[in-house]
Chains A and B, each alone.
Chain A
Amino acid sequence: MKGQRVAVVGVGYSTIGRSTGLSLDDLAVEASIAAMADAGLKPTDIDGVATHCFPHQLVRPTRVADLLGIPDLGWYSGNFDGAAYVVAAHHGIAAVASGSCHTCLTIRSVHRMGASGGTRAWPADGIAGVDQFLVPYGDTTAAHWAAMYMQRHMHEFGTTPEQFGEFVIAQRDYAAANPDAIHRTPLTMDDYLSSRMIARPLHVLDCDYPVDAGSALIFTTEERARDMVHKPVFFESWAAGTTDVLDFHLLESMPQSSPWRAAQRMWSKTDLGPDDVNIAGLYDGFSFIAMQWMEALGFCGLGESGPFVEAGHTRPGGRLPTNTDGGACNVGRRHGANFFIEVTRQLRGECGDRQIPGASVGVVSNSVGGFAGCALMINE
């Protein structure tokens, strides 16, 4: 039993940029106001808030409600564990489906320098916790494990740098048609292959683009959604997944990490299958992650994402138009929320030059490695 049917009725972003000068709370509030405007809702219409943040960047749902003038929350969740925005989404969906609240704001705020990575100051008294087994070896950023996932995929399945590059180039072409994207200049394969190598085989163009960003979506019940501004987009199924070994380096299989568990679980709770999907928003914190999701979700076989991408299947008219906003590599790191927002807009049919004709069933995903989550969205 999935409880009540849950719809997305509002989506919105904050001001987004490399250095906005906005606090994490500001970003959350701006995005929430945009989502409420999109849905035509007032603060008194909201009775639930779910946030997801980095542990050191907590945005409290009660604080956001206070700043927005939401008078009373019947349910809220502030979370820092797991797979980024999809965690807030899953919490919000579950809360509405169960009747814990009727209309839930779900929020992801991120600051440019918030994610792991980049040059940072290290504590003078040594590296504690699990990092003590990584950092002394120069494994200091997510880019290092990402490169290792790519290398293992290349080893097991013969995936080529050009195939990763084709994914990057194809989603840049979508960004060119998205006025809100940050990177819009089309790329050539030579641009990709000659871009700065961070840790071979991972290029800088395989990485999402760090920005300050707030993203918000509003979920409500089907009954309420029917009376709102937009044609509702419904969650047909959703699921998380984790791995026996949590650590992203040490888990059993890099090519078959948590997305495989989440995808299997998501499909087990719906009569729909991969053949029904005609649009996708697959997390591209690093390019290979989106490609792992293509395999995990069953759009191609294990190890076949390289040829799948190379055949143009993620492009317009392909088997699975993917990341039609340009992905986080091009719209900036919004930690998963942009996939939910873009697929919602595609399923509403409001994407202009980049609209995929007939988009009716979409899949969205977030994260890789030790924890991941996904959802299936449908416009009727």
Chain B
Amino acid sequence: MPQTMLDGRVARHELRPAPDHLTAFFWEAALRHELAIQKCDGCGYFNHWPVPRCKKCWSTALSPTKVSGQATVYTFAVATQAFHPWFESRLPFVVAVIELAEQSGLKLVSNVIGCPVDDVHCGMAVEVTFEDVEEGFTLPMFRPAATRGLGQ
């Protein structure tokens, strides 16, 4: 999904992650449209960002584990200035700290999309979605959670 910059050029996303042996699973899962977080086989604790040893029990037996993607917005900012051309056409956009449902305090940073920026609020229920930025590069993002109304 190349973006057209203000000067008319189409920018490739220069801000791709450079995965390493700890983080590659996260980005590979994103390509499959899955959100995966490192979980300790020993004590069950989710660690994010990925670590070489579990922070709770020091185990090195850590498995990428698909999570539900259900989450809430802990906090957010509405970016109104682009610090890289890629973001110019996206302004304003929401950068948020997202707390995942699986574990209290398990957080990551992402964007909230799929609603007007003024609708985003702390405590908002969101769910994971995926933006295929370009070949081989997908970003997990979050959108308002599907309404679980009368039909559940």
CB of A1 within 8 A of chain B? no
A149 and B75 form a contact (CB under 8 A): yes
Write the A173-210 contact mask toward B (1 if CB under 8 angstroms, else 0). 00000000000000000000000111111100000000
Are A138 and B93 CB-contacts (below 8 A) given A133-B109, A152-B122, A200-B80? Answer: yes
**What is the minimal beta-carbon distance from B79 to any residue of chain A, in angstroms?**
5
Write the A214-252 contact mask toward B (1 if CB under 8 angstroms, else 0). 000000000000000000000000000000010101101
Q: For the complex, what is the distance from the CA of A354 to the CA of B81, rounded to whole Å?
A: 36
**What is the minimal beta-carbon distance from A113 to any residue of chain B, in angstroms?**
13
Are A132 and B83 CB-contacts (below 8 A) given A137-B109, A151-B77? Answer: no
A133 and B77 form a contact (CB under 8 A): no
Contacts of B133 in A (CB 8 A): 136
Contacts of B66 in A (CB 8 A): none
Contacts of B70 in A (CB 8 A): none
A137 and B139 form a contact (CB under 8 A): yes
**Which residue on B lies nearest to A152, using beta carbons?**
B75
Q: For the complex, what is the distance from the CA of A125 to the CA of B15, rounded to whole Å?
A: 9
Are A155 and B79 CB-contacts (below 8 A) given A122-B15, A130-B49? Answer: no
Question: Which of A130, A199, A250 is the one whose CB lies under 8 Å from B97?
Answer: A250
Contacts of B65 in A (CB 8 A): none
Are A138 and B20 CB-contacts (below 8 A) given A151-B77, A200-B78? Answer: no
A152 and B19 form a contact (CB under 8 A): no
B109 and A128 form a contact (CB under 8 A): no
Number of A-B pairs, beta carbon distance below 8 Å:
115
Q: For the complex, what is the distance from the CA of A247 to the CA of B105, rounded to whole Å?
A: 13
Q: Which one of A62-70, A83-91, A139-147 contacts B?
A: A139-147
B81 and A135 form a contact (CB under 8 A): no
Contacts of B96 in A (CB 8 A): 148
Contacts of B16 in A (CB 8 A): 126-127, 136
CB of B14 within 8 A of chain A? yes
Write the B5-39 contact mask toward A (1 if CB under 8 angstroms, else 0). 00000000111111110010000000000000000
A199 and B81 form a contact (CB under 8 A): yes
Are A127 and B20 CB-contacts (below 8 A) given A155-B75, A155-B123? Answer: no
Write the B73-105 contact mask toward A (1 if CB under 8 angstroms, else 0). 011111111111001001011011100000001
A152 and B18 form a contact (CB under 8 A): no
CB of A254 within 8 A of chain B? yes
Are A147 and B14 CB-contacts (below 8 A) given A137-B95, A137-B110, A140-B84? Answer: no
Are A138 and B76 CB-contacts (below 8 A) given A118-B83, A127-B15? Answer: no
Contacts of A245 in B (CB 8 A): 105
B48 and A250 form a contact (CB under 8 A): yes
Are A138 and B108 CB-contacts (below 8 A) given A148-B97, A199-B80? Answer: no
**In this complex, which of B79, B80, B110, B123 has the most chain A Cβ atoms within 10 angstroms of its Cβ?**
B79
**What is the minimal beta-carbon distance from B129 to any residue of chain A, in angstroms?**
13
Which of chain B's residues 135-152 have a Cβ closer than 8 Å to chain A?
A: 139, 141
Q: For the complex, what is the distance from the CA of A132 to the CA of B92, rounded to whole Å?
A: 21
Question: Which of B74, B80, B110 is the one whose CB lies under 8 Å from A152?
Answer: B74
**Which residue on A lies nearest to B17, using beta carbons?**
A132
Question: Which of B13, B81, B107 is the one whose CB lies under 8 Å from A136?
Answer: B13
Which of chain A's residues 152-187 have a Cβ closer than 8 Å to chain B?
A: 152, 155-156
Question: Which of B48, B95, B109 is the one whose CB lies under 8 Å from A199?
Answer: B95
Contacts of B109 in A (CB 8 A): 133-134, 137, 139, 249-250
B49 and A133 form a contact (CB under 8 A): yes
**In this complex, which of B80, B82, B133 has the most chain A Cβ atoms within 10 angstroms of its Cβ?**
B80
**What is the minimal beta-carbon distance from A150 to any residue of chain B, in angstroms?**
8
B97 and A249 form a contact (CB under 8 A): yes
B79 and A138 form a contact (CB under 8 A): yes
**Which residue on B lies nearest to A201, using beta carbons?**
B77
A247 and B49 form a contact (CB under 8 A): yes
Are A124 and B14 CB-contacts (below 8 A) given A136-B139, A137-B110, A199-B80? Answer: yes
CB of B121 within 8 A of chain A? yes
Q: For the complex, what is the distance from the CA of A148 to the CA of B110, rounded to whole Å?
A: 12
Contacts of B93 in A (CB 8 A): 138
Contacts of B108 in A (CB 8 A): 133, 250
Q: A140-B84, A197-B80 given; name 17 further pairs at CB < 8 Å.
A: A122-B84, A127-B18, A128-B17, A128-B18, A132-B17, A133-B49, A136-B139, A137-B95, A138-B82, A138-B111, A139-B95, A147-B78, A148-B95, A198-B81, A199-B80, A201-B77, A250-B109
Interface residues of B (CB under 8 A from A): 13-20, 23, 48-49, 74-84, 87, 90, 92-93, 95-97, 105, 107-111, 121-123, 133, 139, 141
